[in-house]
Amino acid sequence: MASPGPKSPEQSEKSKKYDRQLRLWGDHGQSALESCHICLINATGLGTEILKSLVLPGIGGFTIVDGKKITEEDIGANFFLDIDSIGKPRAQVSTQLLLELNPEVKGDYVDEPIEQLLQNNPNFFKNFTVVVAASLPERMLIALSDLLWEADIPFIATRSYGLIGSARLQIKEHTIIETHPDTQNPDLRLDQPFPVLVKHLEDVDLTKMDLKDHTHVPYVVPLYQALQEWKSSHNGDLPKNYKEKEEFRNLLRKGIKMNEDGVQEYEENFEEALKAVNFAIAPTVVPNNVKEILNDYNCINLTSKSKPFWIMAKAVRDFVDNEGEGLLPLRGSLPDMTADSQRYIALQQVYLQEAARCSEIVHRRVRQLLHQLGQPVDAISEADTKLFCKHASSLGVVRGRKISDEYDTKLINTSLLAQGVENSESLIIYYVMFRGIDRFYAEYNHYPGEFGDEHDIVKLKGSIAKLLSEWGCGPLAKDDYIHEIYRYGGAELHSVSAFLGGCVAHEVIKLVTGQYKPVNNTFIYDAITTNTETIDITNLHGIF
Amino acid sequence: MGSCNILVIGAGGLGCELLKNLALMGFQKIHVIDMDVIDLSNLNRQFLFRRADIGSSKAEVAAKFINSRIPGCNVVPHFKKIQDYDEDFYRQFHVVVCGLDSIVARRWMNGMLISMLQYDDDGELEQTSLIPMVDGGTEGFKGNARVILPGISACVECTLDLFPPQVTYPLCTIANTPRLPEHCIEYVKMIQWNKENPFECPIDGDDPNHINWIYEKAQERANQFNILGLSYRLVQGVVKNIIPAVASTNAVIAATCTTEVFKLATSCCLPLNNYMVFNDVDGIYTYSYEAEKKPDCIVCSNKPKTYFVDNGSIKLKQFIEDLCESKDYQMKNPGVTTSIDGKNRTLYMSLVKSIEEKTRDNLNKTFDELGLKSGSQLFIADVTNPNTIILELKYTQTSEMVTD
Ligand SMILES: [Zn+2]
């Protein structure tokens, strides 16, 4: 055999099967998914749709809690019940049919009403990574909300009701390293270059190059050099406003090579430099949301129980205050730009090595902190710190509110509710409707219109009027919404459940992988107008 | 709804969801077309398929599954391309729902439904000839859904600029100044493969031997230039142009499409007017708006489109390039015919080898040399449309500048 090439990595069956999603959340996201265990309360159409979009991508396992026996109506709205299963436990059949989707997922069920389980064995719910409940009546919702808040387990309550749906996330604190922002400016540090970068950029003499070389210098070089010239004549300031940026661009243009006729050549790297003035010349700062995280109580006051996120955040905070001289660790990536390979790679290496240097310093601090806190010094790996530093400018922390707070008139945001009721564009009206439905259900033990009794319309109006007056809001201007809700009769429309099912499944994936930002905290879907809205109905002043 | 006849195009990520949703919403007469067979990488979202189904027709397995799970529902599979059928087939449906990953197929279907519109003597659209098209698309955590009422609301061609052009790298970068691992992969794919011809056939992205070879050669090239970040996964992604996909986004978009079919079939409320975008990377974001119908859309405006050029000195080659590159046309392999003195003449056609050879010389001829004048009509055939598109030439420079 002649010289053998580098051995191609054999792809495992699993990475082939999950290929399309591994490109999104990576192998580390997948392994987080594979070690989670999700609890679903109520295997309704919506409930099984959520699990479907979690079993397919390969969660570790699920447990269904449902004490109901399957009716004909259930089968019409739920793909994971079959025609032969009428009368059988809903938890059992849906578990079996869901498990067929993915042999790698484990699933079991508890054929017991949720109220019974809550009463006899509340600790049961503390075994899960996330608990999801579909169509949970108010009394159980409040009890479960308190229980899971105390246990610090994320909880999602969701419902699909006629053409309307909602999902409410209850998370005490959720930290995110990889938020995957859609757009992000490159971290080039041209205003505050580190010494190696200064040397690298100043060593290039653009005036001595022929045209071919000149057009193949990464745009960072002419941009930096023009900036030095600008700063020397502007007290060291950057071009600040539009006018100054225009002047700076003219300065930059002077660097473009001329041909024999004194006409400027077309140089793509300079064109790129001119475009980059908009985003690459801004002062490098710690973004406000990251500042908030670094100043967070949990960051400053580490304890022996502090989570890795906060320990790394504290290490970054200390880095900013010391070696970083006010700046975050360098991200270390260089966007693609017109250049020859050698020059581009050399510049890329400059950024990469500085980023590695920053993250090494941060990691030393991480180990020190772990030691001081009495945690094992290898609790956070060097790779963890590196990832954290790379994403330091787009970290996320979400602090949620307890669902049961919404049942306290002092803690619910009544002015937001009042505005929502009056504003015909807002979907907050459906929040009010859902609360009214729950009130109705608690009183009459069925959904308005479920049995076609028109008296329900007046009763529902009464339930909602009582709620609104408790909140100090005016009455509803029109009865349209009441009639609409009555018409739904508590029935689930499958396409509405499927929409919410997809949304809620992805929220679970966000919570489990610690990637992407979850909804905070109430999501409402209106299939009539194809609109959605995210609101926080709790009163912020109640807590901060 | 029991009598409403629905056509689902595509039995993949969106298609599986659409079939389940439509069946559970009470639709009983459903047809599904898909020319693909099941692959292992489908199983993370195409929930009607199992490991044992790999290699079987998506349409057939999906139809069988739905028919057995949901009594009373009759899904008819077609293991075919949409181009295998003509308007006699498509006329039987009340609504067409597309869950496709191919823009060409979407455009073709759009063109078909518009060409089936009939107008009465007063030029009024005959409502019975109108078949609404509901269309969904996803990429990662982003998606969109739209309702097209052919001839009435914006069609796929009206909004062609919504499709971002595929990322391409300049050839000189690939050949001379590679910087990214993608540049190395493209080099092997576009240059080295043809030169070394390792398997004596074109690249087959599904053949692991081919991917392995490209991976090894791309790695060698990356090493040579010290380029970082080449991985087997990236090689596959670039060679096969893989679009990331998850179950949840497909569920959301297919559900939106199904709700719209339900609205159209039951008139319970107004359908989406007419475009919704979805993104759940940061919270859950949706936005609905009315995409505008283009008054001179080449497919749905019902008017001949005028093609403006300075004069007759443009070469046929340049004209064809413009049809492919301009964002208004985005054609793939247009064939051009015209009528000169009442006789049809093919100016160029790439798809039929013998005609291509006979007409190739025309590419370097100008419109003047080909006998075209301001006012001449050009008939354009392309895979993006089942019908011929008529372009009327108009020279914008005054006639005295053009010497006869
Ligand atoms: Zn159009």
Q: Where are the domains of chain A?
A: 13-178+493-535, 195-280, 288-394, 405-488
Closest CA to B137 of B106, B94, B95, B113: B106
Task: Give the containing element (helix H, strand E) for A462.
Answer: helix A455-470
- Please report residues of A whose CB lies closer than 8 A to that of B246: 20-21, 24, 53, 57, 506
Closest-CA distance, B293 to chain A, in angstroms, reads 20
Model confidence band, residue B163 (pLDDT cutoffs 50, 70, 90): confident
Indicate if the pLDDT at residue A543 is higher than 50.
no
Note whether A495 contacts B233, CB cutoff 8 Å.
Answer: no
Do B31 and B156 fall into the same domain? yes
Q: How far apart are the first and last CA of chain A?
A: 72
pLDDT tens per residue across span B111-154: 999 999 998 888 888 999 999 999 999 999 999 999 999 999 99
Strands, sheet with B142-148, edge to edge from the N-terminal-most edge strand: B74-78, B29-33, B5-9, B95-99, B133-139, B142-148, B275-279, B285-289
- Any idea of the CA torsion for B61, B63, B69, B73, to the nearest 10 degrees? -170
Q: Are B158 and B191 in the same domain?
A: no
The answer to whether the Cβ–Cβ distance between B283 and A494 falls below 8 Å is no
Residue A4: the pLDDT is: 42
User: pLDDT value at position B174?
Assistant: 96
Mean pLDDT over A351-363 rounds to 98
Q: What's the rounded Cα separation, in Å, for the pair A350 and B157?
A: 47
Mean pLDDT of B345-355: 88
Note down the domain range covering B63: 5-163+244-289
- Percent of chain A at pLDDT > 70 equals 97
CA dihedral over A209, A212, A218, A223, signed as positive or negative? positive
- State mean pLDDT over A274-283: 93
CB contacts < 8 A, A to B, total 199
pLDDT in tens, A474-510: 898 889 999 999 999 999 999 999 999 999 999 999 9
The residues whose Cβ lies within 5 A of ligand 1, an ion, are B 155, 157-158, 297, 299-300
pLDDT digits (tens, 9 = 90+) for A85-103: 999 999 999 999 999 999 9
Q: For residue B376, tell me if it sits in a domain.
A: yes
Does any domain span residue B42?
yes
| Residues B138 and B30 grouped into a single domain | yes
Q: Would you state the pLDDT for residue A7?
A: 56
Using pLDDT thresholds of 50, 70 and 90, give the confidence band for residue A472: very high
- ipTM for this prediction: 0.96
CA distance A463 to A433: 10
Do residues B223 and B128 share a domain? no
Q: How confident is the model at residue B397 (pLDDT cuts 50, 70, 90)?
A: confident
CB A390 within 8 A of CB A340: no
Please tell me the predicted confidence (pLDDT) of residue A33: 98
Q: What is the pLDDT of residues A143-194, one digit of tens each?
A: 999 999 999 999 999 999 999 999 999 999 999 999 999 889 999 999 999 9
Does position B260 have pLDDT exceeding 90, yes or no?
Answer: yes
Phi then psi dihedrals of residue A251, to 5 deg: -60, -45
Cα separation, B263 vs B27, whole angstroms: 12
Q: Is the pLDDT of residue A322 over 70?
A: yes
Going by pLDDT thresholds of 50, 70 and 90, the confidence category of residue A5 is very low
Cα B159 to averaged position of ligand 1 atoms, centre (Å): 7
> Which residue among B44, B176, B256 places its CB closest to the CB of A20?
B44
Instruction: Flag if B281 and A341 touch (Cβ within 8 Å).
Output: no
| B268 in the same domain as B206 | no
The single-letter DSSP state of residue B40 is G
Rounded CA separation A74/B342 (Å): 67
Residues B255 and B156 reside in one and the same domain: yes
Where residue B72 falls among pLDDT bands split at 50, 70, 90? very high
* Same domain, yes or no: B115 and B152: yes
- Cβ contacts of B220 on chain A, cutoff 8 Å: 5-6
Are residues B86 and B233 part of one domain? no
Both B139 and B40 in one domain: the answer is yes
* Residue B402 belongs to a domain: no
Could you tell me if residue B296 is inside a domain?
Answer: no
In which residue are the tokens 């075994």 written? A127
> Which CATH number belongs to the domain containing residue B268 in this structure?
3.40.50.720
Q: Which of B225, B240, B255 is the last residue of a domain?
A: B240
What CATH code is carried by the domain that includes residue B377? 3.10.290.20
Q: Which pLDDT score, from 0 to 100, does residue A12 have?
A: 87
Mean pLDDT of chain B: 93
Q: Of the residues B210, B240, B270, which one is the last residue of a structural domain?
A: B240
Question: What is the distance between the alpha carbons of residues A180 and A28, in angstroms, rounded to a whole number?
Answer: 14
Peptide bond into B212 cis (omega under 30): no
Ligand 1 centroid–CA B106 distance in Å is 13
Residues B145 and B175 in one domain: no
Among candidates B69, B228, B258 on the partner chain, residue whose Cβ is nearest the Cβ of A79: B69
Q: Distance from the CA of B135 to the center of ligand 1, in angstroms?
A: 14
Q: What is the mean pLDDT of residues A19-41?
A: 97
- Residues of B acting as catalytic residues: 172
**Distance separating alpha carbons of residues B121 and B25, to the nearest angstrom:** 39
Find, in chain B, the residue whose alpha carbon is nearest to that of A45. B24
Q: Quick one: CA dihedral A507, A512, A517, A520, positive or negative? A: positive
Contacts of B25 in chain A (CB under 8 A): 493-495
**Tokens read off for B271:** 């359908």
For residues B235 and B133, membership in a common domain is answered with no
Q: How many domains does chain B have?
A: 3
In this complex, do A495 and B47 lie within 8 Å of one another by their Cβ atoms?
no
Looking at the structure, give the CATH architecture of the domain made up of residues A13-178+493-535: 3-Layer(aba) Sandwich (3.40)
Q: Does B20 touch chain A (CB under 8 A)?
A: yes
Residue B68 has pLDDT above 80, yes or no: yes
Q: Looking at the predicted structure, is the pLDDT value of residue B400 above 70?
A: no
Give residue A544's pLDDT band: very low, low, confident or very high (50, 70, 90).
very low
Residues in chain B within 8 Å Cβ distance of A16: 40-41
User: B233 and A19: CB-CB below 8 Å?
Assistant: yes
B45:A339 CB<8 A: no
Indicate whether B101 and B250 sit together in one domain. yes
Chain B residues with CB-CB distance to A497 below 8 A: 255
Q: Is residue B279 part of a domain?
A: yes
Spatial contact of A281 and A324, defined as CB atoms under 8 Å apart? no
B294 domain residue, yes or no = no
How confident is the prediction for chain A on average, in pLDDT? 95
Site of tokens 């653009």: A206
Domain annotation covers residue B404: no
pLDDT (0 to 100) of residue B398:
63
Looking from the CA of A396 toward its CB, the CA atoms found within 13 Å total 20
Residue-wise pLDDT tens digits, B303-349 = 778 899 999 999 999 999 999 888 888 898 899 999 888 888 999 99
Peptide bond before B274: cis, by omega within 30 degrees of 0?
yes
How much is the average pLDDT of A205-210?
A: 94
Does residue A472 sit at the B interface (CB-CB below 8 Å)?
no
**B392–A contact, CB cutoff 8 A:** no
CA–CA separation, A195 and A206 (whole Å): 20
CATH number of the domain within which B221 lies: 1.10.10.520
On the question of pLDDT at A2 being above 70, the answer is no
